[in-house]
Amino acid sequence: MSLLEIHDLTAGYGPIRALDGVSLAVNESEIVALIGANGAGKTTLLMAISGVVHPRGGVVRYEGTSLTGKKPHDVMRLGIAHAPEGRRIFPRLTVRENLELGGFTQTDRTRLRADIDEACGLFPVLGERMDQLGGTLSGGEQQMLAIARALVGRPRLLLLDEPSLGLAPLIVAKVFEVIASLTGRGIAVMLVEQNARAALKLAARGYVLETGRITLTGSGAELAADRRVRDAYLGEG
C-alpha cells in the first residue's frame, strides 16, 4: 500500500473543473515530482490533499485512511504538511513564533524545542533570526522558514508548492539540497516545481498534469528523456 493514494479525483471552483479524474500515488520516503504548465491544476491538487479544497469526487487516502471531509488541521495531525506557493508565513510574527505554529499539535514543549532545533539545523540562518519578524526576512529566508515550519510538525508526507520560485540560484541549491535529504529522514515529498529539470533530477518518479488530467508518468529519468516533456517543459524543443 502506498503512503498516499489518489483515485479519480475531481475538484474545481464554481463552474471550473481544475482536476478531472486524477489518479496517482506516493510511496514512503519517496520524492514525486508533479510538473505542468501554469493553470494545469497542480496547486489545486495539493490543496485537495491538504483539505483546503474539497473534492467533488474521487478518493484520497493516506495510510489507507480516507481524507474526505477532513479539515486542514486534521490532515496535518495525520502526518501531512503543506508548504504552499508564496510561502504564506506570518509576517508579523517572529521566526520562532512561526516555527512554533508549525508544531501546534505538539503538547510536549521540550520535544517541540528539539523539533525546532532540528529544522534550524537544516537551515542554520533561521537559528540566527529567531527573534526577527518573518516579514523582514529575505525571500529566500522566508522560503526556508516555510519549509522548516512544515517540518516542525514531524510529517511523513510533505507537500511542496514551487519552493524555488523567485529565489537566487545559491538559495535554490540549498533548498533542493534539503529536499533531497528528507527521504533519509523518512519523509516523502510531493513536489510541484516550475524548474522541471531540477524536479525530475531529484524525483524518483513524476507525473505530468495537463488541464486537470495526468497525461504522462514514469521515473524522473524517463520523463526527463521523453521528447514531449523536453519540448514542453525543459526548453529543448
Q: Where are the alpha helices (DSSP H) in 182-233?
A: 196-202, 220-225, 227-233
List the CATH number of the domain containing 42. Answer: 3.40.50.300
Q: Are residues 165 and 233 in the same domain?
A: yes
Q: Looking at the predicted structure, is the pLDDT value of residue 237 above 60?
A: no
Three-state DSSP state, 23:
strand
Q: Which of 152, 183, 204 is the last residue of a domain?
A: 152
- Residue 105, pLDDT score: 81
- Residue 123, pLDDT score: 94
Number of domains in the chain: 2
Cβ–Cβ < 8 Å for 151, 81: yes
Strands 157-161 and 80-83: parallel
Q: Are residues 139 and 214 in the same domain?
A: no
Mean pLDDT over each residue of the chain, to the nearest integer: 94
Q: Are residues 123 and 221 in the same domain?
A: no
Q: Are residues 175 and 218 in the same domain?
A: yes
The whole-angstrom separation of Cα 201 and Cα 43 is: 21
Q: Are residues 137 and 204 in the same domain?
A: no
- Residue 131, pLDDT score: 95
Summarised one tens digit per residue, pLDDT across range 198-223 is: 999 999 999 999 999 999 999 999 99
Summarised one tens digit per residue, pLDDT across range 114-143 is: 999 999 999 999 999 999 999 999 999 999
Q: Are residues 190 and 114 in the same domain?
A: no
CA 23 centroid distance within chain:
17
Summarised one tens digit per residue, pLDDT across range 71-121 is: 999 999 999 999 998 888 999 999 999 999 998 888 788 899 999 999 999
Could you tell me the residue range of the domain that residue 63 belongs to? Answer: 1-79+155-237
Helices 139-152 and 169-181, axial angle in degrees (round to 10): 10
Q: Which of 152, 173, 205 is the last residue of a domain?
A: 152
Q: Are residues 119 and 174 in the same domain?
A: no
Q: Are residues 148 and 173 in the same domain?
A: no
Residue 236: pLDDT band by 50, 70, 90 thresholds? low
Query: Between the CA of residue 7 and those of 10, 51, 100, 123, 230, what are the distances in Å?
Result: 9, 16, 34, 36, 27
Q: Which of 152, 171, 204 is the last residue of a domain?
A: 152
Three-state DSSP state, 205:
strand
Q: 19: which residues sit within 8 A by CB, 6+ positions away?
A: 9, 10, 11, 12, 41, 44, 45, 48, 55, 212
Q: Looking at the predicted structure, is the pLDDT value of residue 25 above 90?
A: yes
Cβ–Cβ < 8 Å for 93, 126: no
Place of cell 504548465: 37
Burial-class residue 233 by CB neighbours within 10 Å (0-12, 13-18, 19+): buried
Strand partners, 6: 24, 60
Q: Are residues 180 and 219 in the same domain?
A: yes
Q: How many CA atoms lie within 13 A of 105 on its CB side?
A: 17
Q: Looking at the predicted structure, is the pLDDT value of residue 170 above 60?
A: yes
Q: Are residues 122 and 138 in the same domain?
A: yes
Which H or E element spans position 188?
A: strand 188-192
